[in-house]
Amino acid sequence: MAKARTRYLCSDCGTSTAQWVGKCPGCKAWNSLKEETITDSGKRAHRYSTASPQGGVLTQKARPLAEVTIENIMRLSSGEAELDRVLGGGVVPGSLILLGGEPGIGKSTLMLQVAMMVSASGAKVLYVSGEESPEQVRMRAQRIGAVPKSLMVLPETRVPMVLNALQEDQFSLLVVDSVQTLDQPEVDGAPGSVSQIRESVAAITAYAKSFALPVFLVGHITKEGSLAGPKVLEHMVDVVLQFEGDRNHAYRMLRAAKNRFGTTSELGIYEMMGDGLKAVENPSEVLLGEAGEASSGSAISVALEGARPLLVEMQALVSTAVYGTPQRSGTGFDLRRLNMLLAVLEKRCGFKLGSFDVFLNLAGGLKISDPANDLAVVAAILSSSLDLPLDRDTCFAGEVGLSGEIRPVARLDERMSEAARLGMKRMLVSGHGKRPPTPKGLTLVPIKRVSEIQRVIF
Ligand code: TYD
Ligand code: MG
140 Cβ below 6 A of ligand 1: yes
| Average pLDDT of every residue of the chain | 87
Using the predicted structure, report yes or no on whether residue 114 has a pLDDT greater than 50: yes
β-strand pairing of 399-400 with 406-407: antiparallel
For 319, residues 6+ apart whose C-beta sits below 8 A from its C-beta are 356, 357
Confidence of residue 289 (pLDDT cuts 50, 70, 90): low
Other C-beta atoms within 10 Å of 67: how many? Answer: 6
Q: Which residues pair with 270 in a beta bridge?
A: 252, 279
Cα dihedral across residues 36, 40, 43, 45: positive or negative? positive
Distance CA 242, CA 455 (A): 42
Please tell me the pTM assigned to this model.
0.80
Q: Whose CA is nearest to atom 14 of ligand 1?
A: 104
> Can you give the residue ranges of every domain in the chain?
1-42, 77-279, 286-457
276 Cβ below 6 A of ligand 1: yes
CATH 3.30.230.10 fits 286-457, yes or no: yes
143 Cβ below 6 A of ligand 1: yes
Distance CA 296, CA 255 (A): 33
Task: Decide which of 308 and 148 is more confident.
Answer: 148
φ, ψ of residue 175 to 5 degrees: the values are: -120, 130
Using the predicted structure, report yes or no on whether residue 140 has a pLDDT greater than 70: yes
Q: Whose CA is nearest to atom 25 of ligand 1?
A: 276
For ligand 1, what atom is nearest to the CA of residue 112?
A: 2
Give pLDDT tens digits for 215-263. 999 998 877 767 776 677 888 999 999 998 877 788 888 989 899 988 8
Using the predicted structure, report yes or no on whether residue 54 has a pLDDT greater than 60: no
Task: Decide which of 269 and 287 is more confident.
Answer: 269
Please tell me the predicted confidence (pLDDT) of residue 58. Answer: 53
175 Cβ below 6 A of ligand 1: no
Taking alpha carbons only, the member of 30, 34, 6, 56 closest to residue 197 is: 34
106 Cβ below 6 A of ligand 1: yes
Q: Which residues of 254-290 are buried (b: 16+ CB within 10 A; e: fewer)?
A: bbbeebebbebebbbbbbbeeebbeebeebbeebbee
Give pLDDT tens digits for 183-217. 999 888 888 888 889 899 999 999 999 999 999 99
Q: Tell me the CA–centroid distance for residue 127 and ligand 1, in Å.
A: 17
Task: Decide which of 16 and 297 is more confident.
Answer: 297
Distance CA 382, CA 317 (A): 10
249 Cβ below 6 A of ligand 1: no
Task: Decide which of 369 and 136 is more confident.
Answer: 136
Please tell me the predicted confidence (pLDDT) of residue 38. Answer: 67
Using the predicted structure, report yes or no on whether residue 52 has a pLDDT greater than 70: no
28 Cβ below 6 A of ligand 1: no
- Regarding the domain delimited by 77-279, which CATH topology (the fold level of the hierarchy) does it fall under? Rossmann fold (3.40.50)
364 Cβ below 6 A of ligand 1: no
278 Cβ below 6 A of ligand 1: no
**77-279 and 286-457 have identical folds:** no
Distance CA 254, CA 279 (A): 10
Q: Are 93 and 213 in contact (CB under 8 A)?
A: yes
Q: Helices marked H in 2-106 — which ranges?
A: 81-87
Q: Whose CA is nearest to atom 21 of ligand 1?
A: 276
For ligand 1, what atom is nearest to the CA of residue 109?
A: 2
Tell which one of 112, 272, 273, 275 to mutate to probe ligand 1, the residue whose CB is within 8 A of the most ligand atoms. 272
For ligand 1, what atom is nearest to the CA of residue 102?
A: 7
For 272, residues 6+ apart whose C-beta sits below 8 A from its C-beta are 106, 109, 250, 252
For ligand 1, what atom is nearest to the CA of residue 274?
A: 20
Using the predicted structure, report yes or no on whether residue 418 has a pLDDT greater than 70: yes
Q: Are 250 and 109 in contact (CB under 8 A)?
A: no
What share of the chain in percent tops pLDDT 70? 91
Distance CA 342, CA 378 (A): 8
181 Cβ below 6 A of ligand 1: no
Distance CA 285, CA 287 (A): 6
Mean pLDDT, residues 336-351: 93
Please tell me the predicted confidence (pLDDT) of residue 4. Answer: 64
Distance CA 2, CA 188 (A): 13
Q: Are 377 and 421 in contact (CB under 8 A)?
A: no
- Ligand closest to the CA atom of residue 275: 1
Q: Tell me the CA–centroid distance for residue 130 and ligand 1, in Å.
A: 16
Confidence of residue 135 (pLDDT cuts 50, 70, 90): very high
Distance CA 323, CA 48 (A): 67
Q: Whose CA is nearest to atom 1 of ligand 1?
A: 106
219 Cβ below 6 A of ligand 1: no
Please tell me the predicted confidence (pLDDT) of residue 374. Answer: 96
